[in-house]
Amino acid sequence: MELSFSTHPDRYRHWQLKQDGRVVELTMNVSPREGLSSNYELKLNSYDLSVDIELADAIMRIRFERPEVQVVVVKSALERVFCAGANIPMLAQSSHHEKVNFCKFTNETRLYIEDASRHSQMRFVAALRGTCAGGGYELACACDEIVLIDDGNSAVSLPEVSLLGVLPGTGGLTRLVDKRNVRPDLADVFCTLSEGVRGQRAVDWGLVDAAPSRSQFDSTLARRIAALADTVDDAAKGPGIVLDDITPQFDGTNYTYRHVRAAADAHQRTVAITIYGPQSEVPTSAEALQAAGASSWSLRCFRELDDLLLRIRHNHPTLGLLIIRSEGNIENVLAADRTLWNHREHWLANEITSLMARVLRRLEVTARSVFTLVERGSCFAGCLLELALASDRTYMLQEDALPDETPSSEERPVRIALSSLNAGALPTASGLSRIARRLGTSAAEAVLERARTEAPPLGTEEAEALGLVTLCPDELDWDDEIRIAIEERASLSPDALSGMEASLRFAGPETLESKIFARLSAWQNWIFQRENAIGPHGALTSYGGTARAEFDWHRC
C-alpha cells in the first residue's frame, strides 16, 4: 500500500491542537489501534510513523497558518505517561530499510521543531506529567525547555542500549551532550540506566530544566511559558495562510503534481524527476506573496518535492538513483528568488526560505544517488541550482552554436544562474552553503560574490571553470555518457553507495544536525543489521518475552 504523507488536523488520530492566544497546546493522545499496521498496539503513547507524520504536519501548519504563535507546549493526554517512545513491536517487525527510514523521518521532525525555534521565533516547552522514555525523551529534548513533574515515579530515560541493543536513534545521544551539555560520564550512566532518572537529580544532571512537585507543576509551567514568550521578538506576523492539499496523481509508476513530475523505472532502478519553473509572473512584493499564499510557486514547488522525496524513500526502497531535470525560464526562477530575498524580513518569505532549506537537506540525507542533468530548456537557477549543487554529480551539456534567430524553449541556450539564495540562505546540515561545501570556503568566495550580485547566467564552459558542474559532454556524446553513467551507478552495491555518499555529503564542520545523520547513517544502520539486535536471540527480538537476549561478545 502506498504510504501517504498528506494529512490535516481534521484527520489527526494521535494529536490534538488547541490555541489560546499566542500559545498552542500540542497534545499527544496516541490511538492504540490506529497505527500503520494492525500487527501491533501503540500503548502508552508509543508511536510509529503515523504519529510522526501528524506531528510534522502540525509543526508546519503552526508555522504557516498560525505565525502569531510564540510558544508551543508539547504535552500528553495520558495520566502518568508522556511518551513511551518508538513502539517496540513495530520496530521488531519492520524491515531494515523501514527501521532506518523511520529513524530518519523522526530525526527530521525533531530538527524541524528546532528549526522553528531558530528561524520562526517560536519556543517549545515539553510538559512531562509522567514517565518519558526513549523517543519520547528525544522529542522533549528537541524542545527549548523540559519541565518534569517530581511525583516520585515520573522519570526520563534513554533505555535503547540496555533494553533493545540499539542506539537512541533520533538524536538522543547528540542532544544530551551537544545541546543540553550533559557531562559525557553522566550521559554514560543515564543511557545504561533503564529505569531512568527522576526529580532533582534529572535537573542536576541537566536532563530537564525544572522538576516541580505535583502541586507546583502548573504554576511552574506557566512561568516557564511566560519566560519563553519574553524571548520572542514581538514583531507583527501574519495573517497566516492555509496550506492546501498537494497529494499527487499516481498511476503506479508516475507521480504528477502541479510543478513536479516523477517517473519510476523499476528495471533501471531510477526515478526521473522533472521540476517545472514558474509558468507566469511571480509575486514581487511582500503583499503579493502573502496574497498568493500556498499557491506561490516557491512554496508549492518545494512542498511537492518534499512530498515526493518521502514517497520515494518509504514506498520505493529499490529505486536507487534520482535523475533530476528542470524545465522553464531561468528569469522567472530568479524573480521568485529575488522576492524571497528582498523581503526576507517578512514572515512568509522567511518561512518559505526555511522550508526550501529543509527540503534540500532532506534530499541530502535520503539514501539515494542523485544526478542532475542541465540541458536546453533547463532552469537551474537560484533555489533550483541548489538541487544541482546537492547532487552527487551534475552533467551540463556542452552545446554547439545556436542559430542567430530567437530559439524555441527546446533550443534555449544551456545556462545556469546564481541568485542571492545561493550565498548561504539555504545551508547544508553543516551550516555551509553548498558552494562553500563544494569548493572550500576560500575558493568559494568569488563565486559567492557573483551570487550576491546576481551575475548574468553562466554558460557551460564558465560553469565548469567555476566548479559548479561535474562533467560536460558534448551533444555527440551526451546520450551515451548519461546512459553509461546511469547503468554503472545502478550496478554498484547500494550499501557501499549509501556510505560513500553520506561521507561526501557531510563535508565541512560538524553540527548537531550533521552529527545526528552521520551517526544514523553509520552506527545505527550497522547496529540494525547485527545479530545482537535483530537475530533470533537479539535484544530487540527478545524484548517483551521471557527469554533473555544472547549476545555475540566480540567487540569490533
Q: What digits encode the pLDDT tens for the residues 39-59?
A: 999 999 999 999 999 999 999
- Return mean pLDDT, the chain: 94
318 contacts: CB under 8 Å, gap ≥ 6: 266, 269
How far CA 522 is from CA of 110, 367, 502, in Å, comes to 19, 12, 9
Task: Give me the helix-helix angle, 49-65 and 96-119, nearest 10°.
Answer: 20
* Calpha distance 548→462 (Å, rounded): 64
Each residue's pLDDT tens digit, 92-150: 999 999 999 999 999 999 999 999 999 999 999 999 999 999 999 999 999 999 999 99
| Strand-pair category, 130-133 with 80-83 | parallel
| Strand-pair category, 260-265 with 393-396 | unpaired
| CATH fold label, 9-230 | 2-enoyl-CoA Hydratase; Chain A, domain 1 (3.90.226)
Is the bond preceding residue 494 a cis peptide, omega within 30 degrees?
Answer: no
Helices assigned H by DSSP within 66-147: 88-93, 96-119, 135-142
Of 169-183, 200-214, 517-531, the one with minimum mean pLDDT is 517-531
pLDDT tier, 260 (very low <50, low <70, confident <90, very high otherwise) = very high
Grid cell locating 449: 560574490
Span 523-528, average pLDDT: 86
Residue 12 has pLDDT above 50, yes or no: yes
Residue 517 has pLDDT above 70, yes or no: yes
Q: Which of 369, 323, 343, 404 is nearest to 505 (CA)?
A: 369
Residue 410 has pLDDT above 90, yes or no: no
What share of the chain in percent tops pLDDT 70? 98
Q: Which of 197, 232, 245, 195 is nearest to 61 (CA)?
A: 245
- The residue that leads in pLDDT, 276 or 518, is 276
Residue 7 has pLDDT above 90, yes or no: yes
**Predicted local confidence at residue 355, as pLDDT:** 98
Residue 409 has pLDDT above 60, yes or no: no
* Calpha distance 129→351 (Å, rounded): 32
Of 19-28, 216-225, 229-238, 315-324, the one with minimum mean pLDDT is 229-238
Radius of gyration, CA atoms only, the chain: 24
Residue 348 has a CB neighbour count (10 Å cut-off) of 25
Helix (H) or strand (E) holding 81: strand 80-83
330 contacts: CB under 8 Å, gap ≥ 6: 277, 379, 380, 381, 415, 416, 417, 457
* Calpha distance 67→241 (Å, rounded): 9
Residue 411 has pLDDT above 90, yes or no: no
Span 471-492, average pLDDT: 96
CATH 3.90.226.10 positions along the chain are 9-230, 249-505
Amino acid found at 519: R
- Yes or no: say if 553 and 120 are a contact pair by the CB < 8 Å rule: no
Q: pTM for this structure?
A: 0.95
Q: Which of 395, 421, 322 is nearest to 362 (CA)?
A: 322
Span 482-497, average pLDDT: 95
Span 519-545, average pLDDT: 87
Q: Which of 511, 502, 503, 370 is nearest to 432 (CA)?
A: 511
* Calpha distance 45→76 (Å, rounded): 8
Span 426-438, average pLDDT: 95
**Predicted local confidence at residue 555, as pLDDT:** 85
| Domain spanning 249-505, CATH architecture | Alpha-Beta Complex (3.90)
**Predicted local confidence at residue 169, as pLDDT:** 78
Each residue's pLDDT tens digit, 299-309: 999 999 999 99
What share of the chain in percent tops pLDDT 90? 86
Residue appearing with cell numbers 533505555: 159
341 contacts: CB under 8 Å, gap ≥ 6: 419, 420, 421, 425
- Strands of 270-276's sheet in order across: 249-250, 254-256, 260-265, 270-276, 321-327, 369-374, 393-396
Grid cell locating 234: 514581538
- Strands of 23-28's sheet in order across: 15-20, 23-28, 71-76, 123-128, 145-148
**Predicted local confidence at residue 407, as pLDDT:** 54
pLDDT tier, 367 (very low <50, low <70, confident <90, very high otherwise) = very high
Residue 425 class from Cβ within 10 Å (0-12 exposed, 13-18 middle, 19+ buried)? buried
Q: Which of 496, 424, 500, 415 is nearest to 463 (CA)?
A: 415
* Calpha distance 523→313 (Å, rounded): 20
Task: Give me the helix-helix angle, 512-519 and 96-119, nearest 10°.
Answer: 180
**Predicted local confidence at residue 442, as pLDDT:** 87
User: In the 8-state DSSP scheme, what is residue 249?
Assistant: E
**Predicted local confidence at residue 408, as pLDDT:** 57
Of 214-218, 463-467, 507-511, the one with minimum mean pLDDT is 507-511
Residue 248 has pLDDT above 80, yes or no: yes
**Predicted local confidence at residue 403, as pLDDT:** 46
